[in-house]
Amino acid sequence: MIEYRHYRNSDPPQILTLWNQSGLARGGATGIPHDLLDQLLFAQPYFDRRGLILACEDDRLVGMVHAGFGCNDHHTDLNPLDGVICQLLVHPERRRQGIGRALMDRAIQYLQEQGSTTIHAGPGPGRDPFYCGLYGGSESAGFLATDEDAAVFLASCGFEATERFAIYQRPLELEAGEAVDFRSVQWKRQVRIEISAQNNDGDWWWNNRFGRLDYVRFRLLQKENDEVLASLTLIGLDQFVPKWNSRAIGLADIHVAETRRRQGLGRLLITETLRRLKQETVSLVESHAIESDVALTGLLTSCGFQRIDAGTQYRSIT
């Protein structure tokens, strides 16, 4: 007999066991310690135990679903109108027995009771209150293609794909020759790289997610006037070492000043960043892009990144 109930303070050890045994593919950080789960999930100021619903068989946890909310337009608080199914897991031995659907129904009911008028499935930009740093890799990217059962299950629950993400990686031991970008060469003598803490103007949403991870900001400045030409954030991904067998870093928030685009500055910043990371014994770099962002996907490809996975965010149409 399956019992469905809300989270209790004594549940984290069993939740971690289910997380590690659930068969998540490359995008799930398994083999992590209890304190990381506490830091990234239960310590969030907006964690609501009613949104974490567990399926128990006797004293054993066999499934869970975690529902939350996206942020408002100003990144200062949650937006209860925008509900998100952040994660859903069922133990491999208990799949295809109705547990996942029962969990989903309860999560949707919770979100609707809190006022949600739109319900998404899969954490993504602006809709990833939980699991940043635990699922997806360097950033949230919905549910990943390498977790093969997700798409079929979500379709059966009345969800359709709304946003697709491309996931790229680049091994730093790769020494294959790359085409020279002469625009970058011309800029190289005119710029310097500044390494600093993230400047996010006190962004509440950013701090509650990426702010709980190791991070640093790289900025490309023009020497003569300190104009910021391009910037990116490096996210530590040591929690993925057990899964990837590599020390990895994520590149996020890649930005080139609007008036400076198509001048080779993005490529220059990424290339110099990769060179410095290699000196720090980092062996793998990951970055994500919205699939329709031709400029960013082209930039990553030109810097030697290869697409290794994809993610999809869904929306309920029922």
Residue 302 near residue 107, CB atoms below 8 Å: no
Q: How do residues 202-211 score in pLDDT, each as one tens digit? A: 799 999 999 8
What Å distances lie between residue 86 and 67, 125, 206, CA to CA? Answer: 5, 12, 17
Residue 27 near residue 137, CB atoms below 8 Å: yes
Q: Is 202 exposed, middle or buried (0-12, 13-18, 19+ CB in 10 A)?
A: exposed
Longest dimension (CA), the chain: 71
**CA atoms of 102 and 52, how far apart (whole Å):** 13
Question: CA 205 from chain center: how many Å?
Answer: 14
Q: How do residues 117-169 score in pLDDT, each as one tens digit? A: 999 999 999 999 999 999 999 999 999 999 999 999 999 999 999 999 999 99
Domains and CATH numbers, the chain: 2-166 (3.40.630.30), 169-308 (3.40.630.30)
DSSP string, 199-248: --TT-HHHHHHGGGS-EEEEEEEETTT--EEEEEEEEE-GGGHHHHSS-E
Amino acid identity, position 173: E
The whole-chain average pLDDT of the chain stands at: 93
**CA atoms of 267 and 288, how far apart (whole Å):** 15
Is the per-residue pLDDT at 33 higher than 80? Answer: yes
Which band of pLDDT confidence, cut at 50, 70 and 90, is reported for residue 182? low
Nearest by Cα to 13 from 76, 80, 46, 60: 60
Q: Which of 49-58, 142-151, 262-271, 291-300 has the lowest mean pLDDT?
A: 262-271
Q: How do residues 61-88 score in pLDDT, each as one tens digit? A: 999 999 999 999 999 999 999 999 999 9
What Å distances lie between residue 87 and 134, 194, 266, CA to CA? Answer: 11, 37, 33
